[in-house]
Chains A and B, each alone.
Chain A
Amino acid sequence: MNSKKTNNQNIKDFLFALIKNKWALTSIIWLFIIIAIAIFASQLAPFDPNKNNIMERVAPPLTLDKQGNMKYLIGSDALGRDSFSRLIFGAQVSLIVGFSAVLVGGILGTALGVYAGYYGKWIDDIIMRLADIQLAFPFILLAILFLVVLGEGLINLIIVLGIGQWVTYARIARAQTISQKEKEYVEAAKALGVNNFSIMFGSILPNIFAPLIVIASFNVASVILAEAALSFLGLGVPPQIPTWGAMLAESRDHIFAKRWWMPFFPGMAILLTVLAFNIVGDWLRDYLDPRLKEVE
């Protein structure tokens, strides 16, 4: 009963703080819009994103049809596919990959980090040496190597990007666990004979969740950027699935024809989405714990 009340109070505080920060609020609203666009893509898109129309290739933005109605809002691509519809569907891959990879990396990294911090000694050594090894790779290159071998596919992309993220979470979770494990509540739980697993993930984890959430928010941003880069290089999902990165890659052939709209819109879509995640992350960090400023 009591805890429920404080929970409600917490949510109220959170919402008040959010409303007071206009940038964070705008970003959250924007993210909800993007998520809605991704979910209702097939209802919202004016055309089938894969329907070719050889007669109407590389149409400029605001192209009208014969009746004078809007046909290609932001133009069409080299195969005559409607860019606006592809942009709308592109939100799906970015968001699915962004959230899923962060979930994979976050769970893996947090689990390993808590283990390392809680048990210390050789478990800690092994996990942290693994982290060193991972950090020695420029991540994009490692992802390229694995994706070239594994071939294209959404699941492959999520797994490779997800595994690439674990180190950040592991380091934070480990440091936080070390600082928590000497506290009274952990001692008390140990004295009561609670098993280690429950202590780690039942008692300690909720107390170290705040910095991990902050990291996750920034991390979605960087995963979306990485996904765009990989799609740009022709890796990731099969080519018939529209992605913002692939749209940028296709636009490369039209730079010298000065068709600025072809790279402009997908790039803006990436920029605004990533920016929103970064702003929310920044705000969350300040809100949850001003001392976390150093964590990044």
Chain B
Amino acid sequence: MTEALLVVDGLRHVYQTEEGEHVVLDGLSLTVNRGEFVSIVGPSGCGKTTLLRALSGLLKPTSGTVSLAGEAINGVPKGLAMVFQDYRGSLFPWRKVGANVEFPLLGRVGAEERRNRVRESLEAVGLENFAGRYPWQLSGGMQQRVAIARAIAMRPQLMLMDEPFASVDAQTRSDLEDLVLRVRELYDMTILFVTHDVDESVYLSDRVLSLSKSPTVLTADTAVPLPVPRDQIRSRENPVFVSTRSEIAQLIRRAKPAGLYGPGEAIPTTSNFAVPVLR
């Protein structure tokens, strides 16, 4: 039943700086199954963005492999869409909303099909009446919805989202979270979601992967046994939500460079949900 869609094996990335080598990712391995919603959380500066750039083909990792649907990828793979944190920088101000959504389809999909997909994608995010506006005439939350519509229009196997709601207000944020859950349901999409917000990761995900400080490794793989569909009020009151969130919050607070524990610290053995992936 579960089919691995994204397999990352031993991903390592080293930046050359003037002081020498700076190891950002130090042998990350992870798997995302088809249809899953997986979040990645970690302390700030832990190389989340580097990881996502490596997965999306924007950055060539120093070593390690990434494969999507069984194919090793080199460069930007087919079937992948990305939603960036900075919607202002990812929507083209000279293209109207509809034309921005259409952009990745140009030259690949026939005109008729393009029109349909643009309309459908904008409907999915509730912006069907805004195709003729410029993105900068819309609010921040609406702009991020345009970016999501553009990702949907690509009909991706995997949608990568890089802290997509970090720059919108709280109300808009919970609306967008529910929107993403709806869209995922609608299109049966697999989503890998990077965030620094523990609550958000628990609310949205089937699984949460936590990272250490850089040099970054995976510290735990935590299942979120919260019933679906999720609800902003009820899900967050659920004891499972509360315990999972505090578990992950602890994982992040305890995160050290390259692991969870400083030298000599005792390693606890019991955990409700989290599967420690570290020695």
A and B associate: no
Q: Which residues of A contact B (CB under 8 A)?
A: none
Q: Which residues of B contact A (CB under 8 A)?
A: none
